[in-house]
Chains A and B, each alone.
Chain A
Amino acid sequence: MTVVHSAPKIASNEGVLDALTKALGKSVISGEEKHGEIILTVARDSIVDVLRSLRHDHAYQQMMEIAGVDYPDRAERFEVVYMLLSLTKNHRIMVKLSTDEATAVPSITDLWPNAGWLEREVFDMYGVKFAGNPDLRRILTDYGFEGHPFRKDFPMTGYTELRYSEDEKRVVYEPVKLAQDMRTFDFLSPWEGAEYVLPGDEKAEGGDADKKAAEKKS
């Protein structure tokens, strides 16, 4: 393939972690370079100042994504991860903080309007609250949905299921009724080494015998 230009796909991380850790001072709890990415863990209450500084002083202009992570064993079980992109530096960093179910995280909607929907998504999926988001409603789940489906303790089946009711001529919600137990998959292909006989496999030998008989006749 012809190389059109020699610019790297993404700028080097060299020196970035040290520079940012020094610039952001006590707001940074820890910083690391992992899997080729710069990750800063910051104090929850200083997130707005940190992101403002990264945007205005360090040219990370775009808020690409806000994600949540659930660690049920931790005292502050949720992490909120902000992913930033610098268009001018061609560089990305991740900033994260931790919180719990009761403690709200300061909203950054005043810095990036698109954070409004991203924070709504984290709120909907994990129940993390964002103080100052003027429109903090669920965004992906249905009206009246209960719980936060990306939490590790949320059941895989959910709590309700819906179906179309011929009687009521509308979609109705009902508590989940499992028609069968949850199946445990062994992830083994039945054609490559499974040690059990699948229903119907017993006919395979007969099938071979018929084939051989047909070959002898011909």
Chain B
Amino acid sequence: MILGLGALASLYGVAVANDGVAGDDWSRFQSPDEAFSVKTPCSAEETLAFQAMTKDASILPVPIGPEARVMCLQGETLMFAGIVEVPLAELGDTSLFDLITEDIRKEESQLHDAAARTVDGRRAFTNMEARTDYLAQSGFVEVAHNKVLLSVVGGEITEEYPEASRRLLVERFIASIEFADEVVAP
């Protein structure tokens, strides 16, 4: 499943403007619920503005609230990471991660450059779609039996940002995802 960058951008009502992603000045941002953190080229102000923009990111059948996501939109590049959660009681023995990834694997039309990997020690599944004009990757990382982190990252391919640089950006984003340490009792 590749989630369209345009669709996601329009969901948030953000216009695509300049690109400022190529530099090394990425900063780490933590989701408001402190469940995970990820590096993006956005400033703290920009990240906070994106969190306030829309209450629910309804890009999946289940909502991703602002407390559970980090979003950065700079120029022609979009980076999104958020945790999807379904009630534990609604889930059987198969984990949410397995349900989602099995569905994607069955849909050949949705399956592009798919790969199983690990992110911060957790199993993950990425699906990259590279076209002539843009490159985008959707990723899923298992957080818990009933929770999955969804990442969407990519951008248009231009002379300034060719495919190779887009691939580096995509990899840099997903590889920077870190989950919070386990609960520490008071």
A149 at the interface (CB under 8 A from B): no
B182 at the interface (CB under 8 A from A): yes
In terms of DSSP, what is the predominant structure of the interface of chain A? loop
Bin the interface of chain B by size.
Answer: 20 to 34
Q: Is there contact, CB below 8 Å, between B144 and A133?
A: yes
In terms of DSSP, what is the predominant structure of the interface of chain B? loop
Minimum CB–CB distance from B180 to chain A (whole Å) comes to 8
Q: Kindly identify, within residues 128 to 152 of chain A, every residue whose CB is under 8 Å from any CB belonging to chain B.
A: 129, 131, 133-138, 143-144, 146-148
Among A116, A137, A144, A148, contact of B145 (Cβ-Cβ < 8 Å) = A137
Q: Kindly identify, within residues 138 to 186 of chain B, every residue whose CB is under 8 Å from any CB belonging to chain A.
A: 142-146, 182-186
Among A134, A147, A148, contact of B182 (Cβ-Cβ < 8 Å) = A134
Q: Is there contact, CB below 8 Å, between B98 and A135?
A: no
Question: B88 — which chain A residues lie within 8 A by C-beta?
Answer: 104, 129, 131, 136
Output the nearest chain A residue to B35 by Cβ-Cβ distance.
Answer: A134
Residue of A112, A135, A136, A148 contacting most chain B CB atoms (<10 Å): A135
The CA-CA distance from A103 to B182 in the complex, in Å, is 24
Question: A147 — which chain B residues lie within 8 A by C-beta?
Answer: 93
Q: Is there contact, CB below 8 Å, between B144 and A127?
A: no
Question: A146 — which chain B residues lie within 8 A by C-beta?
Answer: 93-94
Q: Which residues of B contact A (CB under 8 A)?
A: 35, 88-89, 93-95, 98, 116, 122-123, 142-146, 182-186
Further pairs besides A113-B184, A116-B182, A146-B93: 11, Cβ < 8 Å: A109-B182, A110-B183, A112-B185, A127-B93, A129-B88, A134-B183, A136-B144, A137-B144, A143-B116, A143-B123, A148-B93
